[in-house]
Structure 1
């Protein structure tokens, strides 16, 4: 539910989870794992999908995808979905939108930054199954995109490093967000 007077979104029962990090840090895998463990009623708002597929837009300051990510997350929360927003989501471009979204959300909000060193990014990238993507996205691209500890200001995020396995990360987020205590809704 959105309250236009107060600018709030969602309900006390909805959960908002933001997962940020560099390319090949595991963001999409964590989001998919959260949905697999939780079940239905968990919307995944993926930056790559909205920016690259829906809008076919380059990642630039002030891009239209920033507002679309915000609107999509708000819409899902307002319709009773728990939401995972995931992507590189550079702090200087997406930080204001993410802070406003977290501030407006009535329920539990948790933000995470997957901190993966550049060398590990290269190794993980090489294991991606999409041959066309691997051909298009080179080591040069990964170097250009990489930002070390691109954290949101104000200590908003929990940093998760490479010591945490995929399953450990999923379990941590389920626990800290309270999703492990919420029954999924069969839609």
Structure 2
């Protein structure tokens, strides 16, 4: 079977995983703001909840859609951030295949935030309707401690890392801080 490749040697693939309220979406937004155009953000919540309106279950359609969307963006020359809870038991095969097949720099990060801090951060979200819909009981039910991908491919960033520091670290470690943005 031929080896499948995706992206180019110049593209960067960043995977951001962690529990709810760990800062994944904020870090992805910070990367986009700092880098500029030509950075695709492939968000699990957007594709699973908004596009497909699907529950997060093993073998669900969103898993393939996330992978296909990331591949398409990389093949089109976009640096790509895949972000979401992305439970290891459901998403590991897709994510590890994507990392293995990407021609450029790939880095995976797990934002490790304890449950107590998850609950504190969640309470600070400004969307009152969301806070009513997603309760502390939901967060406790969804929470998985150190749900790391197999093979040690993730860098763990703990809750003590401020958002700006996390973004700076990822920019540096992926080389995005040395790559010019392309105005598309």
Cα distance in 2 between the residues matched to 1:151 and 1:5: 29
Give 1:14-163 correspondences, 5 Å limit.
14-163=11-160
Deviations 1:125-163 (A, max 9, x none): 001111111110011100110000000011100000011
Instruction: Determine the C-alpha separation between the residues in 2 that align with 1:131 and 1:73.
Output: 31
Distance 1:67 1:128 in 2: 30
Paired with 2:162 and 2:126, the residues of 1 have a C-alpha distance of 20
Q: Tell me the equivalent position of 1:176.
A: 173
Q: Counterparts of 2:59 and 2:130 in 1: how far apart (Å)? A: 25
Deviations 1:55-91 (A, max 9, x none): 0000000000000000000000000000000000000
Specify the alignment match of 1:185 in structure 2: 182
Q: Distance in 2 between matches of 1:184 and 1:38?
A: 6
1:172 deviates by 0.3
Structure 2: stretches of 5+ with no match in the other structure? none
**How many residues were matched structurally?**
184
Q: Which runs of 5+ in 1 are unaligned?
A: none
- Taking the aligned partners of 2:123 and 2:63, their CA distance within structure 1 comes to 28
Q: Can you list the C-alpha shifts for 1:23-42, whole angstroms capped at 9, x where unaligned?
A: 00000000000000000000
Tell me by how many angstroms 1:5 deviates. 4.5
Q: State the TM-score, normalized to the length of structure 1.
A: 0.97
CA RMSD of aligned residues (A): 0.9
Dislocated runs of 4+, deviation >2 Å: none
Partners of 2:30 and 2:22 in 1: CA distance: 14
- Post-superposition shift, 1:6? 2.8
**In the TM superposition, what whole-angstrom CA distance separates every residue of 1:95-124 from its partner, at most 9, and x where no partner exists?**
000000000100000000000000000000
For 1:153 and 1:104, how far apart are their aligned partners in 2?
16
TM-score by length of 2: 0.99
